[in-house]
Amino acid sequence: DTEVTQTPKHLVMGMTNKKSLKCEQHMGHRAMYWYKQKAKKPPELMFVYSYEKLSINESVPSRFSPECPNSSLLNLHLHALQPEDSALYLCASSQVGRGSGNTIYFGEGSWLTVV
């Protein structure tokens, strides 16, 4: 069983809708991630939060807005998305920093379809 929980598992939204993806972990990790994965492609890093502060933004369009309300929660707010944004969105967590023991754990993902 994954220790990173994502909701919803499936989401269909229109291009004018506002929705949010949610992620929760209780492993005491202080780094949390959003990845985007298109079909038959590897996951692509979108955002990293370290100690609840945004540390990496991989030039993601502003229609994706991350939020880290506390050390256990990570949200991705979605607004005015395009059909090409349809993908699997993966949340993950790990310890902050480099080197030993920095194993990353993924949630089951949220399948997003934009119509």
Q: Does 103 bind another protein (CB under 8 A)?
A: yes
Q: Which stretch binds another protein (CB under 8 A): 18-26, 49-57, 64-72, 75-83?
A: 49-57
Q: Helical H runs in the chain?
A: none
Give least dist CB 20 to another protein, A.
19
Q: Does 55 bind another protein (CB under 8 A)?
A: yes
What string of H, E and C letters represents the secondary structure of 56-89?
A: EECCCCCCEEEEEEECCEEEEEEECCCHHHCEEE
Q: Does 12 bind another protein (CB under 8 A)?
A: no
Q: Does 94 bind another protein (CB under 8 A)?
A: yes
Please state, in angstroms and rounded to a whole number, the distance separating the CA atoms of residues 83 and 55.
Answer: 28
Total residues interacting with another protein, rule: CB under 8 A: 30
State the burial class of residue 61 (Cβ atoms within 10 Å of its Cβ: 0-12, 13-18, 19+). Answer: exposed
Cβ–Cβ contacts within 10 Å for residue 56, how many? Answer: 13
The footprint of another protein (CB under 8 A) covers: 2, 31, 33, 37, 41-45, 48, 50, 55-56, 88, 90, 92, 94, 96-99, 101-106, 108-109, 111
